[in-house]
Amino acid sequence: MQRERDYYKQQEQERRAQYVKDHPQLRPAFAQDILDGKVAVGMTPDDVKASWGKPGMINSSGGVNGSFDQWCYHDSSFLYFTDGLLTSWQVQKQP
């Protein structure tokens, strides 16, 4: 079981590093956040996918004030995008 987790973690790190390498225009802080598996306000959906992977579900809405997306992850984390940029997130923590 530990071997599988180590393998998965290594694959994630390699995927993140490849994304950063393939996107030299990334702001240095975003590049480091992606390598560390973190997200930051202002990231694009592709940046977030590189860091956290694909969400389990996406809820979208739009109107005169722009487009809004909520990304839902299986660990009860929620990310919020406005007009294609990450604006906030919510992560549930166990007490």
> pLDDT digit string (tens) for 31-71?
999 999 999 999 999 999 999 999 999 999 988 888 999 99
Q: Rounded to an integer, what distance in angstroms lies between the CA atom of residue 70 and that of residue 88? A: 10
Question: Is residue 95 scored above 80 in pLDDT?
Answer: no
- Averaged confidence pLDDT in the chain: 93
Sign (positive/negative) of CA torsion 16, 17, 21, 25? positive
Q: pTM of this prediction?
A: 0.87
Number of neighbours of residue 8 by Cβ within 10 angstroms: 10
Query: Is 2-91 a CATH 3.30.310 domain?
Result: no
